[in-house]
Structure 1
Amino acid sequence: MTELGKDMTFGLFYLNSVAPWKTDAEELRNGLDQIKLADELGYHAAWIAEHNARAYGVVSSTAVYLSAAAAMTKNIKLGSAVSRLPLHHPLKLAEDMALVDVISDGRLYLGVGKGYDKLEYDAYNEDFDERHDKYLESLDIVTTALQNDVVTYSGKFYDIQDIKVYPRPVQESGPPIFVMVSGNDNSIINAAKQGHSFMLGGIKNDDTKHKIALYKSSALESGLSQEYVDDAVARSGKLLFCHVAETTEQAQAEYKHGLEWYMSERDNRPTFGVISRERGIDYDSFLKSENTLVGSPEKVIADIERYKEETGLNNIILWMNIGGQPQEQVLKSMKLFSEQVMPHFTKQSVTSNN
């Protein structure tokens, strides 16, 4: 008996940008309502970004927001995307995330990263140039704290001696840890050696396929089992822009305003290959990007089919609520996707006598 095909999973990404036509409270409450609906509609995960000091992201603590989402939901996985490790004491972050895992009854995914915005570091009087070394120490401590009852660690930044960690997470080996992978191959190799899952941003499909193959080979060479590696990759995903409407023309028109505002606000670095400091955003080029799923259900299905064939990755993280999209528009897109797109990819597992 050979399995032909594999069900895909679909998550949602939340940056919680406060556009000029929304208040902070409205945006944050809209996001929680969307996550509650996503749980009811069968989405696999909701991923929450963490930022400060800029309007394009106003969740300064993923643990707090995830706790609220956990209390409102029953089945959906809840992930941080990402918790910026150098801006937290790692032991305190581990304790907070273990508490989220308890509140959610074992539904936490812990995404970690360094943070890329110097302004966010300056706001907290943290040294931006030390973020890489501090990140590495913090990741070691967080991993140890979530997997063990007691932490002892001596490093450049932290000295922790025989500290018990409470509460213990519900997930027996600790929540799965995900790392944000950049265009550099070293980041995917390091994730593989550490046994962590990964999240990909705006790289092309051929590079995505390359990185997945590199992850698998590096993980196996480091001594991890084939089963462990398969599970880690199955959890991993890639972030894609997404909006669904009855027609492609309607979807493209609806998504444009919020996207363009967001891109104009987030001008501190190029984004997803569709914006530059010199040219701004070319919306027509954006719509043709491999990282864009904007259109009718039929078009989005075709685009996902191509993505799956070209990457081999079965998990997609959808960015529907970008730049303060109108709430009713996002909810409608979520429903159309769950009713007309998702079933095409979640009923594929069949068997054959081969």
Structure 2
Amino acid sequence: MEFGILMGDQPVSTPPEEHLDLMLRKVEAAQRAGFTYLTMGQHFLYQDFRWFQPIPLLARLAAELDDDVRIGTTVLIGPLHHPVQLAEDLATLDVITKGKLVVGIGTGYLEHEYDVFDRPYKKRYGLLEEQIELMTRLWTQDRVTFHGKFWNVEDRPTHLHPIQKPRPPIWLGAMKEQGVRRAARHGDVWTITPQQTLEQVEALIDLYVDERRALGLPLTKFPLRRELQVADSFDEALSDFARVARGKYVSYSQQGMGLLDQERVEREFLENVKDHVLLGSGEQVRAQITEIAGRLPVGPLLVRPHWPGMDAAQTEAYLERVGREIVEPLADLESVDFVEPAS
């Protein structure tokens, strides 16, 4: 089992140079602890928290990568970008990383971001599908002609292709049935969001697999995003997670994340999260991950090592402990393969 980290936001009160230093120390600590995926999400004009933009930040972090480590965007808000510029930016990043880029992309969930960029929020899914088609052509063809509903390119040469052929892997973010089917049609894999229970994930994986097989497309194991808190006991881990994460969960629910109920997050935080967060002692968390790997074809497992307000020392301590108690002991764990259909 491979493990990765999600590098997120920080309160805007944190000086930006301190925020960057935190990112660099996080990357160093994660690699030292055995994590092999470093990923970064995206937001614009976000309330109260600062998100560094992922493409320039990942280009900077590429200089710090060990040979066996990949970086990725998890996830870019695709429809807010022009596909020509995004394709060339990502191809450049793939070259900078020597072919170690993963492109995680989705639609996001904040309507105000679309308003600012003058993009139609109600057409975001069509925008994303067309964007992926055009970017794939830009990455794989010497000349491109493309006529879509949203973008047009008339017989233009392409001068910048990624190292990975035919393209960097595309991880498509989705939360519900329609999005998972879209991921099956237009991406290489679906990225499982951290707010879903295993039962919900199992049902969505079945939909994804059926769609891929109907199209004759290969199956790849699913990147699984999960929050993870290790302590000396389950109760201590639950308490520690509430202390660092409650404020961010409330922020997510207030800003409209569909899988989170604001009232439950605010009043019943622990009850609302315990079914989809990995919690407990090292032994308990290893058992939880082993159970997941025995039920679902997943990997890598992506965790968040830092919540807004934590300092670099706390983040480094988290990564060291998770590396020692989870990553290293589970290095040889393999998740189940896809079940072949009955003949």
Band of TM-score, shorter chain: 0.7 to 0.9
Alignment root-mean-square deviation, CA: 2.4
Kindly indicate whether the alpha-carbon contact (under 8 Å) linking 1:243 and 1:294 is maintained by their aligned counterparts in 2.
Answer: yes
Find 1:67's aligned residue among 53, 59, 63: 59
Find 2:321's aligned residue among 336, 345, 350: 336
What is aligned with 2:46? 54
Find 2:183's aligned residue among 167, 170, 191: 191
Counterpart check, 1:302 vs 2:287: yes
What is aligned with 2:298? 313
What is aligned with 1:284? 270
- Read off the aligned partner of 2:46 and give its amino acid letter: R
In structure 2, the CA distance between the partners of 1:288 and 1:337, relative to structure 1 (3 Å rule), is same
**Following TM superposition, by how much is the alpha carbon of 1:348 offset from its aligned partner in structure 2, in angstroms?**
4.0
Give, in whole Å, the separation in 2 of the partners of 1:340 and 1:181: 30
Find 2:249's aligned residue among 254, 263, 268: 263
Deviations 1:287-335 (A, max 9, x none): 522x212332122112212322343424311122123323212211111
In structure 2, the CA distance between the partners of 1:295 and 1:272, relative to structure 1 (3 Å rule), is farther
Give, in whole Å, the separation in 1 of the partners of 2:249 and 2:85: 33
Counterpart check, 1:293 vs 2:278: yes
In structure 2, the CA distance between the partners of 1:219 and 1:145, relative to structure 1 (3 Å rule), is same
- What is the total number of aligned residue pairs between the two structures? 331
Give, in whole Å, the separation in 2 of the partners of 1:161 and 1:64: 29
Counterpart check, 1:105 vs 2:98: yes
In structure 2, the CA distance between the partners of 1:57 and 1:100, relative to structure 1 (3 Å rule), is farther
**Following TM superposition, by how much is the alpha carbon of 1:45 offset from its aligned partner in structure 2, in angstroms?**
0.8
- Read off the aligned partner of 2:180 and give its amino acid letter: I
Counterpart check, 1:30 vs 2:15: no
Deviates more, 1:158-167 or 1:332-341: 158-167
Kindly indicate whether the alpha-carbon contact (under 8 Å) linking 2:42 and 2:75 is maintained by their aligned counterparts in 1.
Answer: yes
Kindly indicate whether the alpha-carbon contact (under 8 Å) linking 1:16 and 1:59 is maintained by their aligned counterparts in 2.
Answer: yes
Deviations 1:223-278 (A, max 9, x none): 22xxx32xx2x2x21211123345545544443333122123331124654x4247
TM-score by length of 1: 0.85
- Read off the aligned partner of 1:67 and give its amino acid letter: A
Give, in whole Å, the separation in 1 of the partners of 2:39 and 2:185: 24
What is aligned with 2:86? 93
What is aligned with 2:159? 166
- Read off the aligned partner of 1:295 and give its amino acid letter: G
In structure 2, the CA distance between the partners of 1:317 and 1:278, relative to structure 1 (3 Å rule), is closer
What is aligned with 2:225? 239
Query: What runs of 5+ residues in structure 2 fail to find an aligned partner?
Result: 335-343
Deviations 1:182-210 (A, max 9, x none): 222x2222322335211011222022122
What is aligned with 2:116? 123
What is aligned with 2:9? 16
In structure 2, the CA distance between the partners of 1:70 and 1:120, relative to structure 1 (3 Å rule), is same
SS state at 2:4 partner? strand
SS state at 1:280 partner? helix
SS state at 2:290 partner? helix
Counterpart check, 1:327 vs 2:312: yes
SS state at 1:269 partner? coil
In structure 2, the CA distance between the partners of 1:265 and 1:217, relative to structure 1 (3 Å rule), is closer
Counterpart check, 1:132 vs 2:128: no
In structure 2, the CA distance between the partners of 1:123 and 1:302, relative to structure 1 (3 Å rule), is same
Deviates more, 1:89-98 or 1:277-286: 277-286
Kindly indicate whether the alpha-carbon contact (under 8 Å) linking 2:12 and 2:49 is maintained by their aligned counterparts in 1.
Answer: no
Give, in whole Å, the separation in 2 of the partners of 1:148 and 1:281: 54
Identity %: 22
